[in-house]
Amino acid sequence: MHSSLPSNLPRSQDGFHWTPQEGLQPGLPSLGVITPETEIKQARQTHDVIVVGAGYAGLSAARNAAKSGLSVLLLEARDRIGGRTWSSNIEGYPYELGGTWIHWGQPHTFREIYHYGMKPDLEVSQDHSRGVNRFDLITPDGTKSMSHKEEDALLESAVRKFIDVDGVLAREVMPFPHTPNANPDIAKYDKLSMADRIDQIKDDLTPSELAALEGFVLLCSGGKANNTGFYDIVRWWALGFYSYQGILDTCVTYKLRGGQSSFARRFFEEAKATGNLSYAFRSPISRINSRDNGVQVIAANGKQFTASRLICTIPLNVLGTIQFDPPLAPAKQQAISIGQINQCSKVHAEVRNPELRSWSGIAPSNKLVYAFGDGTTPRGNTHIVAFGADVNPLHPEEDVAVTKQSFTDLVPMDIQRVVFHNWSKDPYAQGAWCMFEPGVGTTYLDALRARHGNVLFANSDWATGWRGFIDGAIEEGSRAAVMAQEELGTAKPVSHRL
Amino acid sequence: MHSSLPSNLPRSQDGFHWTPQEGLQPGLPSLGVITPETEIKQARQTHDVIVVGAGYAGLSAARNAAKSGLSVLLLEARDRIGGRTWSSNIEGYPYELGGTWIHWGQPHTFREIYHYGMKPDLEVSQDHSRGVNRFDLITPDGTKSMSHKEEDALLESAVRKFIDVDGVLAREVMPFPHTPNANPDIAKYDKLSMADRIDQIKDDLTPSELAALEGFVLLCSGGKANNTGFYDIVRWWALGFYSYQGILDTCVTYKLRGGQSSFARRFFEEAKATGNLSYAFRSPISRINSRDNGVQVIAANGKQFTASRLICTIPLNVLGTIQFDPPLAPAKQQAISIGQINQCSKVHAEVRNPELRSWSGIAPSNKLVYAFGDGTTPRGNTHIVAFGADVNPLHPEEDVAVTKQSFTDLVPMDIQRVVFHNWSKDPYAQGAWCMFEPGVGTTYLDALRARHGNVLFANSDWATGWRGFIDGAIEEGSRAAVMAQEELGTAKPVSHRL
């Protein structure tokens, strides 16, 4: 254990940590690391359900299936739960390496927050009560500073112009955000990229609106202007109660005091407490065979497991690395070969600048396009969270000097610690939260959701509601568990149109 | 079955129906009526859990407990499920007698909508695409007509002035709407009545803003200006994403095509399918005894039932009719004697005026203070839904001429049918959705939520989130079921801070 990483927690191989004293070190301590890594009851025997992947989709599926009395084997490639959402506690402070913010308007998530009694754990990222209390719009022409009220007005104006293709702020385009393709004309809007849409409205935007909009939309997408589907930005808008404030509230405001891994852990512990859960971490798989009487999965180390059903929660961008027999349907294969476009780089800095607690910035031409004060560490330092996008990719571990420069190009700061997980280079993620290029959301959603024999697919990447969010993962895991329960006889059918 | 009530559905004793041909008739057909009314397995034997009340709280509690393997006896005073939420299908068209609108920002509800595959059943009440497309503000000085866009602007301006006691539109007063008393200063705001708050801002309101605000707030409260707590209106605002549009979206926009009873029925059927549910409808109870080893309940007909735990979902205003032994704690008794103040009168009219499909009106001095076009019936008529408040009480069955006049005082219409349920005169409701007078929400919420020996209390009237809504009922039923499961050993503790 490094001196700069004081923690009683076991350490994941995932993530990176840099301090001036220690330099760059791989691995981070986390509540999400499971020890011992394997606990398989009734070895060699078949299970009712194998769940592949222990992110929120897999955890929800495994927990619900185990609670209904099914025997479950959970296989996870990593040494930890949480998938693209996990937190590392460093000096008692949680850094969120992936998914972070939740909101009571995310129904699957908030039902779980109630279930686990975690409402008192909610806290607000932003604190505008102290420090510079300022927003900087940073472009090659220089930095324009303004109040957060002005920031909100600027972005609200720009985002409304961007969204308003139907004169009713997308309520016609997407009248039911949890049924995103309900409008039969939706494919028309799904042809547009973010760049196409900006092109349509650019004469209506001030230079500041354009720069702020580019930064904001790149924050949402983690991609590029020309491969980010306009449809997916409309989706966030509709899910965010058709308002800019709603997007802020739902996507970058409320987080968990103990970190996301404290939440994920509850799912795992509840599943374990049923007595019906076996699990093996550090167990990547290579092959899934669907047979008439069940499924067979072959791990990378050659071990084989069988079950009546398999719930595959492997992310879209990773599915292509798994061999399926029989082969997947052509539409699913096409969707997998297209993938999703989010290569966001999320990086945390602990900085000796208490005044930045109330700072935020957008810099569409920088390697980090969006950043803000996200907390105060136990040392009294400010925690800055920052996001880059694929348009100007940052792989923070490749050159820490470049990474630090990407922060200080935003605003001067004295960096004492950098923490991150490179999702692009992670073989089990190959990207961040799901964002589609134009056409994919309307063409391939059903194919991605379709079963393959006795294999069910559950991942936030093809959720119908909060796709790409924690909420979508829980939605999907719950859907798959109900299907397995109904088919294996522990529940009577209740859901006729899932 | 009356000719004007063609329906294959069994008929509840609840509700009233009027047509020019048949006059006033009690009783309405509903999917929520359960036949046969009793099915008790293992007669005389004790159950794990008795659930008293089959509204959404009781249905959620009974279903979750039964799914976890507990034997459940559900006792309901009425002949139907749903409590203060039920629908009557008349000529294939669902009239919602009580709770109606739901939204994806209501987490407990929408999780169930997903669970039952009912997302495609969502529809929008308002249709501004045809007809007069007009809002009327009706006061003793006359009627002021305007567009719906102007209606929204008027109400948004008025409601924002009403809410904005902290300069940040109540985000400081109520930063976490699902933890409504999180702000230690909340009691200060809970001293104010709606009338007090209007008094503070009346110099800032135009006459139209004042009239619109009075009508809107009376719609929310169903009470009077001087007994409606300002706190409870702030609560709706905060739950509605701190915006007027959010209140509209969450409270009066999205409903279920098949009616609420089609939703409630799913809970009941799923509970029944477990094989663990016994039930008796038309079984009001008179007494609940909590003993060291369990509970005993005595029905009004003298029958006795015993169980290890009892989940009491009787509404606040009815709890005083039940004898508890030992007596309830003093704080709970005080809260019961104060009760909740909503005596809303909700009345439906089917009218021969297709042009009113896009009409809405507010009339703060009328017996019906708020009304709008809510649907088109199979005959091509318009369905108008209207709400009265206790300030000017309307008991629609007492004099149908007065009831009809209350509609035609709003706007001329040719009334062909009137449908309603008088919640004030209903012995098992004694009021509509829960609204508190000043001070009650901050003083008595914990007392109302507290258990009494082996009796657990679950009702939307003391939910922490969407109190008074369907969502709060599901929240509460789920909470009680988890407690019963943990105490009776079918689940390990997961919720440490409920």
Residue in chain A closest to B168 (alpha carbons) equals A149
Residues of A in contact with B120 (CB under 8 A): 179, 497
CB contact under 8 Å between A109 and B107, yes or no, is yes
Question: Is the pLDDT assigned to residue A142 strictly greater than 50?
Answer: yes
Do the chains contact at B494 and A270, CB–CB below 8 Å? yes
Q: Do B176 and A122 touch (CB under 8 A)?
A: yes
CB contact under 8 A, A104 and B492: no
- Residues making up the binding site of A: 76-77, 387
Q: Would you say domain A1-13+28-125+254-338+433-498 falls under CATH 3.50.50.60?
A: yes
Alpha-carbon span B58 to B76, nearest angstrom: 9
Averaged pLDDT of chain A: 96
pLDDT, average across residues A155-184: 97
A110, A174, A178, best to mutate vs chain B, most B CBs in 10 Å: A110
What is the arithmetic mean of pLDDT over A269-292?
97
Rounded to an integer, the average pLDDT of A88-107 is: 97
Tokens of B338: 């104060």
B241 to chain A: which residues are within 8 Å by CB?
Answer: 105, 241, 243, 245-246, 249
pLDDT at A367: 98
Average pLDDT score, chain B: 96
The answer to whether the Cβ–Cβ distance between B108 and A106 falls below 8 Å is: no
Among A106, A241, A250, A262, which would you mutate to test the B interface (most chain B Cβ atoms within 10 Å of its Cβ)? A241
CATH 1.10.10.10 fits B126-252+345-422, yes or no: no
How much is the average pLDDT of A372-387?
A: 98
Cβ of B117 and A475 within 8 Å? Answer: no
Q: What is the pLDDT of residue A3?
A: 47
Closest CA to B480 of B329, B309, B325: B309
* Predicted pLDDT of residue B61: 98
Residue-level pLDDT at A498: 33
Q: How far is B126 from chain A (nearest CA, A)?
A: 13
Residue B481 is encoded by which pair of tokens? 């079921």
Q: Which residue of B has its CA nearest to A247?
A: B241
Annotated binding-site residues of B for substrate read: 387
The pLDDT assigned to B496 comes to 41
Q: Cβ–Cβ of B117/A498 closer than 8 Å?
A: yes
Domain parsing of chain A, residue ranges:
1-13+28-125+254-338+433-498, 126-252+345-422
Contact A492 B273 (CB under 8 A): yes
Say yes or no for a CB contact (<8 Å) between B494 and A110: no
> Nearest CA to CA, how far is A38 from chain B (Å)?
22
pLDDT classification of A44: cutoffs 50, 70, 90: low
For residues A314 and A83, the answer to whether their CB atoms sit within 8 Å is no
Judging contacts by C-beta atoms under 8 Å, the chain A residues touching residue B175 are 124
- CATH topology classification for B1-16+28-123+255-338+426-498: FAD/NAD(P)-binding domain (3.50.50)
- Mean pLDDT along residues B288-313: 97
Average pLDDT of A49-60? 98
Residues in chain B closer than 8 A to A496 (CB atoms): 116-117
Min distance A106 CA to chain B CA atoms (Å): 7
Tell me what pLDDT residue B3 has: 46
Cα B217 to Cα B233: distance, rounded to the nearest angstrom: 7
List the single residue in A with minimal CA-CA distance to B124. A175
- Cβ B241–A245 below 8 Å, yes or no? yes
Quote the ipTM score.
0.96
Q: Find chain B residues with C-beta within 8 A of A111's C-beta.
A: 107-108, 111, 478
Instruction: Give the pLDDT band (50/70/90) at residue B140.
Output: very high
Closest chain B residue to A183 measured between Cα atoms? B120
**A&B contacts, CB < 8 Å:** 134
* Mean pLDDT, range A300-313, rounded to an integer: 97
B40-98 pLDDT, tens digit per residue, is 986 657 999 999 999 999 999 999 999 999 999 999 999 999 999 999 999 999 999 99
- Find, among A134, A150, A130, the residue nearest to A360 by Cα: A134
The arithmetic mean of pLDDT across residues A122-144, rounded, is 97
Compute the nearest-CA separation of B85 from chain A (Å). 21
**In angstroms, rounded to a whole number, what is the distance separating the alpha carbons of residues B393 and B251?**
22
Q: Which of A106, A117, A241 sits opposite B496 (nearest CB)?
A: A117
- Chain A residue whose CA is closest to B489: A274
Residue A490 has pLDDT above 80, yes or no: no
Indicate which of A67, A68, A106, A111 best probes the interface with B, i.e. most B CBs within 10 Å of its own CB.
Answer: A111
Q: Is B119 in Cβ contact with A464 (below 8 Å)?
A: yes
- The whole-angstrom distance between A496's CA and the closest CA on chain B is 6
How far apart, in whole angstroms, are the C-alpha atoms of residue A342 and residue A179? Answer: 22
Residue A107: its chain B contacts at CB < 8 A?
104-111, 114
pLDDT at B497: 35
Of B116, B245, B478, the CB nearest to A495: B116
Residues of B in contact with A482 (CB under 8 A): 115
Spacing of C-alpha A190 from chain mean position? 22
* Residue B4 predicted with pLDDT over 60: no
Which pLDDT does position B29 carry in this prediction?
Answer: 97
**A88 and A264 Cβ atoms separated by less than 8 Å:** no
Alpha helices in A351-439 (DSSP H): 400-408
Q: Do residues B163 and B241 touch, judged by C-beta distance below 8 A?
A: no
The CA-atom distances, in angstroms, between B422 and each of A304, B67, B117, B393 are: 64, 34, 32, 11
Which stretches within B353-491 are classed as H helix?
400-408, 440-443, 445-449, 470-488
Nearest CA in chain B to A498: B117
Looking at residue A5, its pLDDT comes to 61
In terms of Cα–Cα distance, which of B470, B211, B461 is closest to B342?
Answer: B461
Asked if A105's CB is within 8 angstroms of B241's CB, the reply is yes
Q: What pLDDT, on the 0 to 100 scale, is given for residue A45?
A: 77
Q: Reduce the DSSP state of residue A282 to 3 states and report it.
A: coil
Pairwise CB contact (< 8 Å): B118 & A497:
yes
Which residues make Cβ contacts (< 8 Å) with residue B242, sequence separation at least 6? Answer: A245, A249, B169, B170, B171
- Smallest Cβ distance to B120: which of A115, A179, A475? A179
Confidence of residue A489 (pLDDT cuts 50, 70, 90): confident
How many angstroms separate the Cα of A208 from the Cα of each of A104, A141, A155, A202, B489? Answer: 32, 11, 9, 11, 61
Q: What is the pLDDT of residue B6?
A: 59
Taking Cα atoms as reference points, which of B82, B360, B376 lies closest to residue B248? B360
Q: Do A497 and B108 touch (CB under 8 A)?
A: no
Task: Check A116 against B266: CB less than 8 A apart.
Answer: no
Q: How far is A104 from chain B (nearest CA, A)?
A: 7
Decide if A316 contacts A434 (C-beta within 8 A): yes
